[in-house]
């Protein structure tokens, strides 16, 4: 079934993990897709022609605007944007100290596991600049194009259960909570233009970010869901495809949670 036939989609942070799964799912549903990623060479391996791939640093306005101009030219326009690019950690963000303290706790030491007091401005900004600022900058670029086209569109932001539960790093949880607020505000603003804006809240998913976590922590995270496992990227991609296309035509400002029952928010 090609629910997205004729649609022109851009997916950010799509060279691997959830982003690559989303790009492939949208393509399988009939969309022509522009794969954007900081690693342009790797992005080019995700989908064959007639799909496209472009290097894009979502932290920088010039890079974003250039990539979206390229995507528009290659695809003939933009109907769908999936803001997947995000970052869960950055140098100087205090997470090394946090994990070290957790390891000491597991050995019976009475210590505090802190991130906040160790998180530098650079560590904070390293996550915010990609996860929140990048989502806004890419949305702005896409909305400018969609508004000029005058045919509406669909934006799907990848948030996180951490943005609701606060069970992730402080900068990541804050950024994802802000993405949910941005989703709702943009949905209100853009409804008159026929542009729907929704979010998907994945739970813990088998991605490169989770591959870096200590095994004990991954096991604990998996045990926290009712299904006792991590999600597969394809399961998140299926939710995105629903919201991106006409099957989700009456959904805007909504958050679709796909977390195996880790929370019901």
| Cβ-based neighbours of 242, under 8 Å, separated by 6 or more | 248, 256
Whether the upstream peptide bond of residue 155 has omega within 30° of 0, thus cis, is: no
pLDDT at 212 over 80: no
What pLDDT was estimated at residue 188?
A: 98
What is the mean pLDDT of the segment spanning 106-116? 95
What is the mean pLDDT of the segment spanning 187-200? 98
> In 3D, which of 173, 149, 146, 154 has the Cα closest to residue 162?
173
Q: How far apart are CA 260 and CA 225, in angstroms?
A: 5
- 246-253 long-range contacts (CB < 8 A, ≥24 apart) are 246/3, 247/3, 248/154, 248/196, 248/198, 249/196, 251/196, 251/198, 252/187, 252/191, 252/196, 252/197, 252/198, 253/183, 253/184, 253/187, 253/188, 253/197, 253/198
User: pLDDT tier at 228 (50, 70, 90 boundaries)?
Assistant: confident
What pLDDT was estimated at residue 243?
A: 98
123 near 90, Cβ under 8 Å?
yes
Architecture of the 8-88+129-257 domain: 3-Layer(aba) Sandwich (3.40)
What pLDDT was estimated at residue 118?
A: 98
Q: Which two tokens stand for residue 153?
A: 């569109």
pLDDT at 221 over 90: no
pLDDT at 54 over 90: yes
Q: Is 99 one of the annotated active-site residues of the chain? A: no
Question: Which member of 98, 124, 172, 242 is catalytic?
Answer: 172
Q: How far apart are CA 71 and CA 77, in angstroms?
A: 8
Percentage of the residues of the chain whose pLDDT score is greater than 70: 99
pLDDT at 260 over 90: no
pTM: 0.94
215 near 223, Cβ under 8 Å?
no
What is the mean pLDDT of the segment spanning 127-150? 98
pLDDT at 217 over 80: no
User: pLDDT tier at 93 (50, 70, 90 boundaries)?
Assistant: very high
């Amino acid at each position: 079934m090609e629910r997205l036939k004729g649609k022109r989609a851009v997916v950010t942070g799509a060279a691997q993990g959830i982003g690559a799964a989303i790009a492939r799912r949208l393509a399988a549903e009939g969309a022509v897709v522009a794969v954007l990623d900081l690693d342009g060479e790797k992005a080019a391996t995700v989908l064959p022609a007639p799909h496209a791939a472009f290097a894009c640093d979502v932290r920088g306005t010039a890079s974003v605007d250039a990539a979206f101009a390229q995507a528009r030219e290659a695809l003939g326009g933009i109907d769908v944007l999936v803001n997947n690019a995000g970052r869960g950690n950055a140098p100087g963000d205090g997470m090394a100290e946090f994990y070290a303290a957790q390891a000491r706790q597991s050995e019976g030491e009475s210590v505090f596991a802190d991130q906040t007091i160790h998180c530098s401005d650079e560590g904070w900004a390293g996550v915010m600049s990609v996860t929140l600022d990048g989502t806004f900058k890419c949305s702005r670029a896409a909305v400018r194009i969609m508004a000029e086209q005058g045919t509406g569109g669909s934006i799907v932001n990848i948030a996180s259960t951490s943005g609701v539960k606060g069970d992730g790093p402080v900068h990541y949880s804050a950024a994802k909570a802000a993405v949910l607020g941005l989703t709702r505000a943009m949905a209100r603003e853009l409804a008159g233009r026929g542009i729907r804006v929704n979010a998907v809240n994945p739970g813990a998913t088998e991605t490169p970010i989770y591959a870096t976590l200590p095994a004990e922590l991954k096991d604990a995270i998996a045990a926290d869901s009712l299904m006792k496992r991590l999600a597969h990227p394809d399961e998140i991609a299926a939710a995105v495809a629903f919201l991106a296309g006409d099957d989700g035509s009456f959904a805007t400002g909504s958050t679709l949670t796909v977390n195996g029952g880790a929370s019901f928010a």
